[in-house]
Structures are given as structure tokens and as C-alpha cells.
Amino acid sequence: MSAQQDNASTFTSKKCLHCGNYLAIDERFCFSCKKKVGKLNRKTGMAHQPINWISYIICIISWTFLVFYIWWAFL
Ligand SMILES: [Zn+2]
């Protein structure tokens, strides 16, 4: 018999993936290292890596520009 709680709903805190500090479940920023943290990973108790939407958008825009440029050049 294991005394370890493995029920997913028993987490009361999450761990910052940058510095390992324990944060409140609904915390969006780590107060210790000031970095953005994602939602709780219910399997590990760690915070998820937040999605970096800005770099996604910049990547998509630059690809769109590149495609348009090539399309324009061969027209
Ligand atoms: Zn941190």
C-alpha cells in the first residue's frame, strides 16, 4: 500500500518549471523568478510551459511574407 497521493485533484500548488518554486494553482507569473508559468500539469504537479503566442505569430507572418515575396518575384 502506497501512502503517496496520486489522485490528480489533490494538488494544491504547482511547481515553477524555471526555478522550482511552489506557486498557487492559478498563479500566472512566478513571484520568485518573474517568469510566466502555464497551467498545472495534473500528472507531475509542475506548471506547464506557457505557449509563446507572439513568437508563433511573428513566425507565421515572416513565412507569409516570404511566400508572398517568392510568389511576387516569379509573377
Ligand atoms: Zn520561478
Q: What are phi and psi of 18, to 5 degrees?
A: -95, -45
Q: What is the CA(68)–ligand 1 centre distance, in A?
A: 41
Residue 35 domain flag: yes
Q: Is pLDDT at 1 greater than 60 in this prediction?
A: no
Residue 57 domain flag: yes
Its domain, for residue 31, covers 10-73
Residue 2 domain flag: no
Total structural domains in the chain?
1
Residue 65 domain flag: yes
Q: What is the CA(40)–ligand 1 centre distance, in A?
A: 14
The string of pLDDT tens digits covering residues 24-72 is: 999 999 999 999 999 999 998 889 888 788 889 999 999 999 999 999 9
Q: What is the CA(42)–ligand 1 centre distance, in A?
A: 18
In this prediction, residue 19 carries a pLDDT of 95
Predicted TM-score (pTM) of the model is 0.55
Residue 47 domain flag: yes
Q: What is the CA(55)–ligand 1 centre distance, in A?
A: 21
Residue 32 domain flag: yes
Residue 1 domain flag: no
Distances (CA, A) of 9 to 20, 22, 56, 64: 20, 17, 32, 43
